[in-house]
Chain A
Amino acid sequence: MSDVMIEARGLTKHYGPVTALKNATFEVNRGEVVGFLGPNGAGKTTTMKILTCFIAPSEGTARVGGADIFEDPIAVRKAIGYLPESTPLYTEMLVLEYLEFAGKMRGLSGNDLRARIRKVVDETSLGDVIGKAIGELSKGFRQRVGLAQALIHEPPVLILDEPMSGLDPNQASEIRELIREIGRERTIILSTHNLSEVQVTCGRVLIISEGQLVADDTPEELAARAGRPRFIATLRRNGHSAAEIRSAFANIGNAQSVTEHEGIGANEVIIEIVPKSTQDLRADIFQAAVAGKLVLLGLEQRGENLEDVFRELTTRDTGAAS
């Protein structure tokens, strides 16, 4: 078997007059954790539903684990562990009952089934709630049950739709950790609209906007595309004129431009400094402020995360149209 675990070719999906997905083509290799990123309604869920054979594409096709979604949907489903958006589980069932059900549906039985259940319960730390009804669980635990059922047959491919939405920060970081753990041995596609999540969890990012793939890169490369970081310093004006303040920073060696904005209070001024290269200028800015006898109230670095790329890529179309 080749190393390409997921291969999507020209996937297009129309819902009546609405085109949810336009000609999406991408590949995911064995062992990759890929973040599927886009605003709501961009086509992430549609793509995932196509890959899991829940819906069929209007055009194009895909192969998962070597099987075609049209020719052998059962083989595709066998290769996939799937966690749909908002984790729909049978709330009246006990956690153990549910995992038994999921295991049996995956062809497990007897000692095998018991061993796998023990393993996933361990991996997802569900031990304390195994005898509880799913409906009684917190969102975080429910999410773990969803992950546990997706893992029970040790699938080579995991497809997780918004696995961290609706969780509080602690729960989210636990699930993130878990996904990272799982991702060492498996191919994972996870969708999200949370950028920091992708940076932490994924080795590669697919950005989708209005049904079209607009980027396919590592988080680092995408961040680099966002351009150089900018430094924002908040200073106390203390009677200094704008020109004085600007000149205090003008002689920072690597600064390309220094612009000045009004601060929140009348006595505050905000300076934006763009470096010539991707250099960290925070120490220089501090030194320059001290040398110019200016009071530095705040200093931050911006544009190093994906947010800017994301915003740029996903709003470009509407920007061009207006």
Chain B
Amino acid sequence: MKNILTIAGRQFRSYFNGPVAYIVICIVMLTLGFFFWKTFFLFGRASAREMFRWLSLILVFALPALTMGLLAEEKRTGTIELLITMPVTEAQVIVGKFLGVFGLYAVLLALTLPYPMSIATLGDLDWGPVWGGYLGLILQGSAILAIGLMASSWTNNQLIALFVALTLSVFFWVLDKFLPLLPTNAASALEWMSFDYHFQSMARGVLDLRDVVFFFSVTLVALAAAFRALESRRWS
């Protein structure tokens, strides 16, 4: 357990030693600000709904940039060898890496708190959907970060990891956008696999266990795949 936290702490701090964290945080905050304020006053409602809509979409694109280097860069530079030959298991490395990037994500989410807070000063804000929205972002974000970590475990090239993670996270987000074109059975299956479907349901302030289980499952499957990829090096 201590090893997991040591790895997570190192990972978290390393983001701030390089440019990645700052760039991603800046881009997310600027894009969010631009899209949100562009339409906020048109609606004339004290609601954070639009903010979550935009933020969840922006994160689908931004989070893979945080995960691309997690393992790919360690494999390219060889530091993975020193890390793995310390007294840790592969599972601890994966969980530590995940928690490290999740910590940065938590900081990023915390930086968006001024949005609902300032909306609340403008009118009577319903905080239920706000907490639901944050929970949804945390869960959807976990799934995307885990997918990114998995992609990063498959290659030692950060750009390939980025591309694979982007493709997968956009794919899962966009799934429920084509539903009207599909037969009903396929449509409901696709809808159920879509990130946005589950996220929107949480952002309405409805806490449905099925949404939580869905994101948890995706996160676990992706982390397990990353573990397998990291472990397979022993037998190759």
14 further A-B pairs in the complex, CB-CB below 8 A; given A54-B81, A89-B79, A91-B77? A54-B84, A54-B234, A55-B233, A77-B86, A77-B87, A80-B85, A82-B82, A84-B78, A84-B81, A88-B77, A88-B80, A92-B17, A102-B86, A106-B86
Which residues of chain B have C-beta atoms less than 8 A from A102's C-beta?
86
Q: Is the CB of B236 within 8 A of A82?
A: no
Other-chain residue from B18, B81, B86 in contact with A105 (beta carbon distance below 8 A): B86
Q: Which residues of B contact A89 (CB under 8 A)?
A: 79, 82
Is B217 interfacial (CB-CB < 8 Å)?
A: no
Chain B residues, CB < 8 A from A53 = 85, 234
Provide the residues of chain A in CB contact with B38, threshold 8 Å: none
Q: Indicate if A74 sits at the interface (CB-CB under 8 A).
A: yes
In the bound assembly, the distance between CA atoms of A86 and B18 in angstroms comes to 22
Chain B residues lying within 8 Å of A56, measured Cβ to Cβ, are 234-235
Check: A78 CB closer than 8 A to any chain B CB.
yes
Q: Is B31 an interface residue (CB 8 A)?
A: no
Asked if A107 is at the interface (CB within 8 A of a chain B CB), the reply is yes
Q: Is the CB of A105 within 8 A of B85?
A: no
Does A212 reach chain B (CB closer than 8 Å)?
Answer: no
Whether B2 and A90, one on each chain, are in contact in the complex, defined by CB atoms closer than 8 angstroms, is no
Interface size on A, residues (CB 8 A): 29
Using a CB–CB cutoff of 8 Å, the interface residues on chain A facing chain B are 15, 49, 52-56, 74, 77-78, 80, 82, 84-86, 88-93, 97, 101-102, 104-107, 149
Query: How does the 8 Å CB contact mask read for B1-32 relative to A, with 1 for contact and 0 for none?
Result: 01100110010011001100000000000000
By Cβ-Cβ distance, the 6 closest A-B pairs, closest first, are A88-B78, A92-B17, A52-B85, A105-B86, A104-B6, A88-B79
Could you name 8 residue pairs across A and B whose Cβ atoms are closer than 8 Å? A77-B88, A78-B87, A84-B78, A84-B85, A88-B82, A102-B86, A105-B86, A105-B88
For B84, the chain A residues whose CB sits under 8 A away are 54
Interface centre among B2, B3, B85, B89 (most CB of A within 10 A): B85
What CA separation (Å) do A24 and B55 show in the bound complex? 57
1/0 contact trace for B146-168 toward A, CB 8 Å? 00000000000000000000000
Q: Are the CB atoms of B14 and A92 closer together than 8 Å? A: yes
Whether A104 contacts B2 in the complex (CB less than 8 A), given A86-B78, A89-B79, comes out as: yes
* Whole-angstrom CA separation of A47 from B163 in the bound complex: 35
> Which of B79, B87, B89, B236 interacts with A107 by CB under 8 Å?
B87
Q: Which residues of the partner chain A approach B89 to less than 8 Å between Cβ atoms?
A: 74
CB of B18 within 8 A of CB of A92, answer yes
Q: Are A54 and B85 in contact (CB under 8 A)?
A: yes
Cross-chain contact B234 with A55 (CB below 8 angstroms): yes
Other-chain contact of A15, B78, B86, B236 (Cβ < 8 Å): B236
Partner-A contacts on B (CB < 8 A): 2-3, 6-7, 10, 13-14, 17-18, 77-82, 84-89, 233-236
* Residues in chain A near residue B13, CB distance under 8 A: 97
User: Which of B2, B6, B236 has the most chain A CB atoms inside 10 A of its CB?
Assistant: B6
Most chain A CB within 10 A, of B10, B14, B18, B88, is at B10
State the CA gap A74–B84 with chains docked (Å): 10
Distance (whole angstroms) from the CB of A162 to the closest CB of chain B = 13
Q: How far is it, in angstroms, between the C-alpha of A86 and the C-alpha of B2 when the chains are bound?
A: 28
A78 to B13, CA, bound (A): 25
Which residues in B have their C-beta under 8 angstroms from that of A55? 233-236
Nearest A residue to B76 via CB reads A88
Distance to closest chain B CB from A307 (angstroms): 30
Q: Does A74 contact B87, Cβ atoms closer than 8 Å?
A: yes
* Residues of chain A within 8 A of B88, CB atoms compared: 74, 77, 105
Which residue on chain A has the smallest CB distance to residue B80?
A: A88
Interface centre among B17, B77, B80, B86 (most CB of A within 10 A): B86
Q: Does the CB pair A90–B79 fall under 8 Å? A: yes
Chain B residues lying within 8 Å of A82, measured Cβ to Cβ, are: 82, 85
Task: State A84–B83 Cα separation when bound (angstroms).
Answer: 11
> Closest chain A residue to B84 by CB distance?
A54
Tell me the minimal C-beta distance from B94 to chain A in angstroms: 15
Q: In the complex, which of the residues A49, A80, A84, A101 contacts B10, with contact meaning CB atoms closer than 8 Å?
A: A101
Distance from A261 Cβ to chain B, minimum over Cβ atoms (Å): 47
Identify the closest chain B residue to A150 (Cβ).
B82
What is the CB-to-nearest-CB distance from B90 to chain A, in angstroms, rounded to a whole number?
Answer: 10
Given A54-B234, A86-B78, A88-B78: A106 and B87 interface contact (C-beta under 8 Å): yes
Contacts of A84 in B (CB 8 A): 78, 81-82, 85
Query: Nearest chain A CB to B78's CB is how many angstroms away?
Result: 3
List, in ascending order, chain B residues with CB within 8 A of A106's CB: 86-87
- Contact partner, B82, options A74, A91, A149, Cβ 8 Å: A149
CA distance A55 to B80 in the complex (A): 12
Residues of A within 8 A of B6 (CB): 101, 104-105
CA distance A82 to B84 in the complex (A): 11
Complex contacts, A80 vs chain B, CB 8 Å: 85
Q: Which B-chain residue is minimally distant from A16 (CB atoms)? A: B236
Give chain A residues whose Cβ lies under 8 Å from the Cβ of B87. 74, 77-78, 105-107
Q: In the complex the two chains form, what is the Cα distance from A111 to B80 in whole Å?
A: 28
Shortest distance between the CB of B32 and any CB in chain A (Å)? 28
Q: In the complex, which residues of chain A have a beta carbon less than 8 angstroms from the beta carbon of B77?
A: 88, 91
